[in-house]
Amino acid sequence: MSEHTVELDPIRLEIIANGLRSIADECFVALMRSSYSTNIKERKDHSIAIVDKAGRLVVQAELTLPIHIASMGGLMKCVLEKFGDDINEGDIFVANDPHTAGGTHLPDINYAMPIFIAGEIVAFVCNIAHHADIGGMVPGSMAGGMSEIYQEGLRIPVVRLFNKGILQQDIMDIMLLNVRVPEERQGDHNAQIASCRLGERRFKEVIGVHGLPSVLTAFDEIIDRTNQRMKDTIAQIPDGVYEFKDYMDSDGLSTYDIPICLKLTVKGERIHLDFAGTSPQVRGNINTTLNAVQASVNYALIGALDSEMPSNQGVLDAVDITCEPGTILNCVFPAPVAARAHACQRVIDIVLGALSKAIPDKVIAAANGANTTAVFSGVDPRTGKPYLYFETIGGGMGARATKDGKDGVQVGITNTSNLPVESIEQEYPLRVEEYGFVENSGGAGEFRGGMGLRRVLTPVDHECVFNGAGERFRYQPWGLFGGEVGASGQFQIEDADGIRRLDDKPNEVEVKLGTRITVETPGAGGYGKPAERNAEAVKRDQESGKYSPEFIKENYPTTNFGEQ
């Protein structure tokens, strides 16, 4: 507890907590509106948090990405360990490296700014944004084919970008020299810096209204109450040991059928997740760090147990995780990690799969289980300047105990949007020729799985390069309690030689004029036996055009549309 502790009644505590959340939300919007790249200003691939002086996460912005809790927590630990008492008013720290600076992959650049009151650090305002390129051997810094972190882009240890309010221009110059579209990156960096400073101003305004002792007490209360709420929720799970296993498709280089194993133990108000038996780290870049696994686990537990629960240090402290170093879920240097979100998405599916044996009515079937990545890069014929289009495209959400899964959405640890066609065609020399759902991609069931997305793109007046990364392109999203699997995804290329499937993690594909690239994302699994699906719901499926008559006949052969 803080030495400034005072008594807070519940109403005042809630007012202060909402004030802190409003700061995070305003900083989120400010970063979004002032950034340059579509990945941030349109897709909202960024996050905000307020952290106490000990590095504990207190509040996040409402639209924060669940996986970013890992990076911001890791950054703060490294800042405090490296700089200790040598932190000054006006400093701003920057970092991205997973192996030395608490990050989870290089495109996510972390910022942290201390907030001083009367010469004393009282908090930090942090943000993180996914930059569309951080250099390295592949445009977009995300595709398969990279076998060590050196190839993935610029590694930034925790450094002081602003020293007592003064920009260290040489550090910024290094960061911009190593990327492919430096003007866009400069704009995104400036947006992150401005967001930090806005958070500092707004936090001081809250202090001015409520006083420092009350706000510091609220920090402790917010974390402690969330921790107890999480423990109380865990206690509602029947005690026992629940196991589940699933496989990653491949690492994009040489390893296939990569197991992730989980033994989940519940005893009273404690929960322990042991990933013993999981694959050793692989050559390809689907490895992930332990802090990203922690973020994924906590997301899955909050989603299944209490979706209204705040995500802060109190949740992190209530969950025990064991994961052997040197495995795909706790990789060690110099493992590549650019596509770590695929492993994180699979962790979420596995946690929910294990929980389905304990709380079947609170979980969903396997979702699309991927961050299907598409990257186009080249020279824009309209300007003569390089461009880089980066996007992760949504897919199916798993079916639930009482509802169908949602179609074409981002799931799991990402909270981003799918880019509108208008944004793509306005910002980049690309044309979107098709955009819709993948027919028959949602698994059949009493409640069907969500649909995958299909997007077909072609370059306009130029040739370019395509990179991608997909998962659940081989291992289909599983259903629950008799529900059928969802469809897998795929990349295709169509040119003068016809239509052919690309590798699941394609690297440096030449796209000539007239060539079409198709991205199909996975669907999701169904929940419950198809024979138990309401006849009216089957009729809606047929009339929607999302399912073919053949699919309906095969999966719901006894349905009489005239009866319910």
| DSSP result, 418-482 | PPPHHHHHHHSSEEEEEEEEPTT-BPPSSBPPPPPEEEEEEESSS-EEEEEE-SSSSSPPPPBTT
Give the Cβ contact number of residue 509 at 10 Å: 18
* End-of-domain residue from the set 229, 249, 279: 229
Entry pTM? 0.95
Number of domains in the chain: 2
- C-beta separation of 373 from 470 below 8 A: yes
Q: Which residue is listed with tokens 């002792």?
A: 213
Q: How far apart are CA 289 and CA 332, in angstroms?
A: 8
Mean local confidence (pLDDT), 106-131: 97
Domain encompassing residue 142: 10-229
Q: Euclidean distance between the first and final Cα of the chain, in Å?
A: 59
Note the pLDDT tens digit of each residue in 494-534: 999 999 999 999 999 999 999 999 999 999 999 999 999 99
Q: What is the mean pLDDT of the chain?
A: 95
pLDDT of 320 strictly over 50: yes
Backbone angles phi, psi at 388, to 5 degrees: -150, 115
Q: How far apart are CA 252 and CA 255, in angstroms?
A: 7
Q: What angle do CA 71, 387, 112 make, to 5 degrees?
A: 25
Note the pLDDT tens digit of each residue in 453-470: 999 999 999 999 999 999
What type of residue sits at position 229? Answer: R
Structure tokens given for 431:
């044309």
How far, in whole angstroms, is CA 138 from its chain's centroid? Answer: 21
Note the pLDDT tens digit of each residue in 2-30: 455 688 999 999 999 999 999 999 999 99
SS3 175: helix
What type of residue sits at position 506? Answer: P
Q: What is the pLDDT of residue 4?
A: 56
Position 359 in a domain: no
Confidence band for 145, pLDDT divided at 50, 70 and 90: confident
Q: What is the pLDDT of residue 563?
A: 44
SS3 108: strand
SS3 158: coil
Burial class (CB in 10 A: 0-12, 13-18, 19+), 90: middle
Backbone angles phi, psi at 403, to 5 degrees: -145, 155
Position 205 in a domain: yes
Burial class (CB in 10 A: 0-12, 13-18, 19+), 134: buried
pLDDT of 564 strictly over 90: no
Position 343 in a domain: no
Instruction: State the helix-helix crossing angle for 290-305 and 212-234, rounded to 10 degrees.
Output: 70
Mean local confidence (pLDDT), 155-172: 98
Note the pLDDT tens digit of each residue in 418-477: 999 999 999 999 999 999 999 999 999 999 999 999 999 999 999 999 999 999 999 999
Position 452 in a domain: yes
Structure tokens given for 316:
């992190």
* End-of-domain residue from the set 177, 204, 229: 229
Q: What is the pLDDT of residue 561?
A: 53
Q: How far apart are CA 478 and CA 443, in angstroms?
A: 8
Q: Which residue is listed with tokens 């997301």?
A: 299
* End-of-domain residue from the set 229, 251, 273: 229
Position 492 in a domain: yes
Backbone angles phi, psi at 416, to 5 degrees: -90, 175
pLDDT of 560 strictly over 70: no
- C-beta separation of 465 from 429 below 8 A: no
Note the pLDDT tens digit of each residue in 49-98: 999 999 999 999 988 888 888 788 889 999 999 999 999 999 999 999 99
Note the pLDDT tens digit of each residue in 267-295: 999 999 999 999 999 999 999 999 999 99
Backbone angles phi, psi at 48, to 5 degrees: -135, 145
How far, in whole angstroms, is CA 344 from its chain's centroid? Answer: 8
Position 247 in a domain: no
SS3 101: coil
What type of residue sits at position 399? Answer: A
Position 236 in a domain: no
What type of residue sits at position 382? Answer: R
